[in-house]
Chain A
Amino acid sequence: MSIYTKTIAQLAQGLKDKEFSSVEITQHYLDRIKKSDLNAFITLTDELAMKQAQTADDKIAAGTSNILTGIPYAHKDIFCTKGVKTSAGSKMLDNFISPYDATVSHQLNQADTVMLGKVNMDEFAMGSSNESSFYGAVKNPWDTKKIPGGSSGGSAAAVAGGLSCFATGTDTGGSIRQPASLCGITGLKPTYGRVSRYGMIAYASSLDQAGPMTKTAQDAAIVLNAMAGFDEKDSTSAEQDVPDYTANLNDSIKGLTIGLPKEFFSEGLDDDVASQVMNAIKEFEAMGAVVKEISLPNSAYAIPTYYIVAPCECSSNLSRLDGVRYGYRCENPKDLEDLYSRSRSEGFGSEVKRRIMIGAYALSAGYYDAYYLKAQKTRHLISEDFKKAFHDVDVIMGPVSPTTAFDLGSVKDPVSMYLADIYTLSANLAGLPAMSIPAGFSNKLPVGLQLIGNYWSESKLLNIAHQFQLQTDWHQQMPQED
């Protein structure tokens, strides 16, 4: 069994048993990354990685290691990393060497992990296909003509393609779950406020949430243990105890009530994707779960609600990028106005400009009530739908994406791209935790099953996902290599 196919749990065992060293597994991954043509990495931090691996090996030898000691990972290029370029997939930050660490970066350093490099993403996390990255699209390891999903496309491709043991991701409207689904890995978006947003370059602050992208639910639990927790540097961080997310993985799910929202199985969902999802649900029934049809009546409005709320927040957040203090500055500005507008116009790509303008318009005098306020009210209704549903069911399940990965370059107009986010947006709007786990294949491309839980139910979601992975082997499939 080759190193790149191993989970965190398996690598940790191998490190403990002296089957291999962290230096060896790090070198193994670096060699694979250098041979790969997936375009998953923006920056390779090979020297740093080898140093961290050596330190990890010393700690293992000294008996002061933890389960993540010496485990290599790929860090989404949205997390600030001190002394290492942090681009957010944008020309605007192509020259940005972060002067500080994000809390998540710090936590993973404290856990003695090995950072292989910074991975590709849609520009400022705005996109569902990774095609908006300044560094070019990432390719899907299952079929290199297909998109990997986005915005955490580099993270998903790195894990699925055996270029990293695990990865970090962020999810504002599906950016962990959708690429996890399209690349056939496990991805978890925690409850809003569970993981610190400090040093995570902001897109839409009331929606952004970081989480693990891994091979298995067990690995996701291990990584979430390191990432979760209160952080006084993030004013929206929740003061909520962090349980051991691995503690309940083996609980029985007999009697679990699964809610299937009828709105998630209506028109627009690919037939074959629907049948893979239903097969997974049947598997749960065979394990003793009870299925119940539910309704989330306002879920169709998640798309217009999200595509007002998120651009409004982004237009505000991205106003800090003005060519003055860091990042890209245009050549020879003729005055201050020109400096702002040319730096921004030359530094941002077209999708980012589009969302900034939608936000600027929706927040402008005379339109605020009609768009932003209206969307915030609809957001409340969407969230109430979930509250009602969770009176009757323990978990909600459905598809992640209406189709499998589509061809690179095939979706050209922005609205068509937005419509494909239909099943993922509402969990962000409500702030609920949600996962994607591998649930089958359609035309040789992975299909993910979405699990949405009540607030702070990450342990339960991971337990449900782990029990499914004990009964199935979809999560163990990896793309064929030449």
Chain B
Amino acid sequence: MSLSEQEVTQIAYLARLSLSEAELKDNTKDLNAILGLAEQLGAIETDGIEPMAHPLHMTQRLRADVVTEEDQSELFQSIAPKIGNKHYLVPTVIE
């Protein structure tokens, strides 16, 4: 199986990346090479094997449902690209 340039453009869109012509060519080649490597996994019998999501098979800890974060919005927003009235500003979405 091999990815076309059109498919790579779609993957880039899913990842919110835009590729130049040259980048598209290079990435199509590289992504196919990497997926070629991944094809090796097809040789392993994995029927009935549990997928491993955590190296120590631990489950996520739960904590009491109480607020632990203090309000640091001013500090956090001091490094934002654009803010106004304590909001992060982006180009208009709905007129």
Contacts and interface: CB of A to CB of B under 8 A. Distances in A.
A338 B93 CA distance: 12
B66 interface: no
A360 interface: yes
Contacts of A431: 54-56
Nearest to A456: B56
Contact of B76 (A99, A342, A353): A99
Contact of A354 (B31, B52, B55): B31
A301 B44 contact: yes
B88 A235 contact: no
A431 B58 CA distance: 12
A135 interface: no
A324 interface: yes
A319 B72 CA distance: 23
A97 interface: yes
Contact of B12 (A334, A335, A336, A357): A357
Nearest to A358: B34
Nearest to A415: B33
A152 to B, nearest CB: 20
B15 interface: yes
Nearest to A335: B91
A375 B52 CA distance: 9
A236 B58 contact: yes
B76 to A, nearest CB: 6
Given A361-B31, A414-B33, A377 B18 contact: no
B38 interface: yes
B85 to A, nearest CB: 15
Interface stretch (A45-53, A178-186, A378-386): A378-386
A376 interface: yes
A229 B14 CA distance: 38
Contact of B91 (A191, A300, A338): A338
Contact of B17 (A232, A323, A345, A414): A345
Contact of B44 (A324, A339, A362, A381): A381
A455 interface: yes
A324 B81 contact: yes
Interface in B22-36: 23, 26-27, 30-31, 33-36
Contacts of B49: 377, 380-381
A322 B16 contact: yes
B81 A361 contact: no
A191 B55 CA distance: 9
B82 interface: yes
A453 B37 CA distance: 28
A356 B58 contact: no
Residue among B38, B50, B79, B93 with most chain A CB within 10 A: B38
A161 B61 CA distance: 42
B72 A356 contact: no
Contact of A418 (B17, B37, B50): B37
B58 A308 contact: no
Contacts of B34: 307, 354, 358, 414-415, 418
A275 interface: no
Contacts of B90: 324, 333, 336, 339
Contact of A99 (B11, B18, B19, B78): B78
B79 to A, nearest CB: 5
A93 to B, nearest CB: 10
Contacts of B84: none
A192 B19 CA distance: 36
Residue among B8, B39, B46, B50 with most chain A CB within 10 A: B46
Contacts of B16: 319, 322, 337, 340-341, 344
B37 A304 contact: yes
Interface in A312-371: 315, 319, 322-327, 329, 333-342, 344-345, 348, 350, 353-354, 356-362, 364, 371
B32 to A, nearest CB: 10
Given A326-B76, A357-B12, A359-B15, 18 more contacts: A206-B55, A235-B61, A301-B40, A301-B44, A324-B88, A335-B91, A336-B90, A336-B91, A337-B16, A341-B13, A378-B46, A379-B51, A381-B44, A414-B30, A415-B30, A415-B33, A415-B34, A455-B56
Report, nearest first, the 4 A-B pairs whose CB atoms are least far apart. A431-B55, A376-B51, A329-B81, A377-B46
Interface of A: 95-97, 99, 191-193, 206-207, 232, 235-236, 238-239, 298, 300-301, 303-305, 307-308, 315, 319, 322-327, 329, 333-342, 344-345, 348, 350, 353-354, 356-362, 364, 371, 373-381, 383, 413-415, 418, 429-432, 455
21 contacts: A192-B55, A192-B56, A236-B58, A236-B60, A300-B40, A304-B37, A315-B15, A324-B90, A329-B81, A335-B91, A339-B90, A354-B31, A356-B17, A357-B31, A360-B14, A377-B52, A379-B52, A414-B30, A415-B36, A415-B37, A429-B55
